[in-house]
């Protein structure tokens, strides 16, 4: 999916009922706002700053142990919350 644009990646994640992790704040905020304004459902957008793989995995595990899939639905969350 790396060669696909943001909209295609997000649509794929939605179709698979998955949240998406991204460093691309601007484009995914716009996609989130569009989905909400069109009453479309998504399964979460997890925003992060660029970090080492170890840091990202640590924070993702903390996120997964802190919030449920239902709580993430139609939400945007910063991975940095889970330091």
Cα dist. 70→15, 28, 42, 74 in Å? 16, 20, 11, 9
Which residue is listed with tokens 């484009």? 27
Question: What predicted TM-score, i.e. pTM, was given to this entire model?
Answer: 0.92
pLDDT of amino acid 1 = 72
Q: What is the pLDDT of residue 66?
A: 96
- φ and ψ at residue 41, rounded to 5 degrees: -95, 145
Q: What is the pLDDT of residues 1-47, one digit of tens each?
A: 778 899 999 999 999 999 999 999 999 999 999 999 999 999 999 99
| pLDDT single digits (tens) 38-75 | 999 999 999 999 999 999 999 999 999 999 999 999 99
């Amino acid at each position: 999916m790396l060669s696909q644009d943001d909209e295609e990646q997000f649509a794929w994640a939605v179709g698979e009922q998955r949240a998406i992790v991204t460093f691309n704040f601007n484009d995914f905020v716009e996609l989130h706002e569009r989905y909400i304004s069109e009453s479309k459902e998504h399964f979460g957008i997890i925003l992060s700053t660029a970090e080492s793989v170890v840091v990202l995995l640590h924070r993702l595990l903390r996120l997964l142990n802190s919030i449920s899939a239902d709580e993430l639905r139609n939400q945007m969350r910063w991975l940095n919350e889970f330091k």
